[in-house]
Amino acid sequence: MRRFFMGFALTLAGLVARAVSAAPAHADVFIAVNKSAQSMSVAVDGRERYRWPVSTGRGGGPPSGAYRPERMERTWYSRKYDWSPMPHAIFFHKDYAIHGTMYVSRLGRPALHGCVRLHPLHAAELFALVRSRGMGRTQIVVSDQGRYAERR
């Protein structure tokens, strides 16, 4: 009898795992960065909540693709670029992050390096949103076109 229940439990666990992996990925927070338009839209539960100007890298960075946040740092300084401040940084691919910048007059145009820069107030708001919903329930899509905006 015990063998029956153990086998049943293993079969049930396998079915649940397959169902979860077959289900479409869902993100409570969907962040779409459009490098060609130098803008970011943020959707929460499938509805656009924010649209902000950003600055991405002049050299085309960050690379286009779909990502999940890897870590979050309320206060961070870039070791690579002369200890430049990166407030409310959401790291998503290697050293690339979405973070606040003090150069708000440059938003809407590509900047020197490859991160995604936001107005400091917007970066703080996004940071709080991702923290409250969870990094695992957040998706970041970086593209050269706006075609990902419809995928929410």
Nearest CA to 140 out of 73, 78, 70, 86 is that of 70
Each residue's pLDDT tens digit, 82-126 = 768 899 999 999 999 999 999 999 999 999 788 999 999 999 999
Comparison of pLDDT for 23 and 35, the residue scoring more: 35
Average pLDDT of the residues in 57-65: 92
Nearest CA to 86 out of 52, 78, 94 is that of 78
Tell me: pLDDT of 63 over 60. Answer: yes
- Specify whether the CB–CB gap between 130 and 67 falls below 8 A: no
In the chain, where the domains are located: 27-151
Tell me: pLDDT of 54 over 70. Answer: yes
Q: Tell me, what's the pLDDT at 3?
A: 52
Q: Tell me, what's the pLDDT at 25?
A: 56
> Any idea which architecture 27-151 has in CATH?
Beta Barrel (2.40)
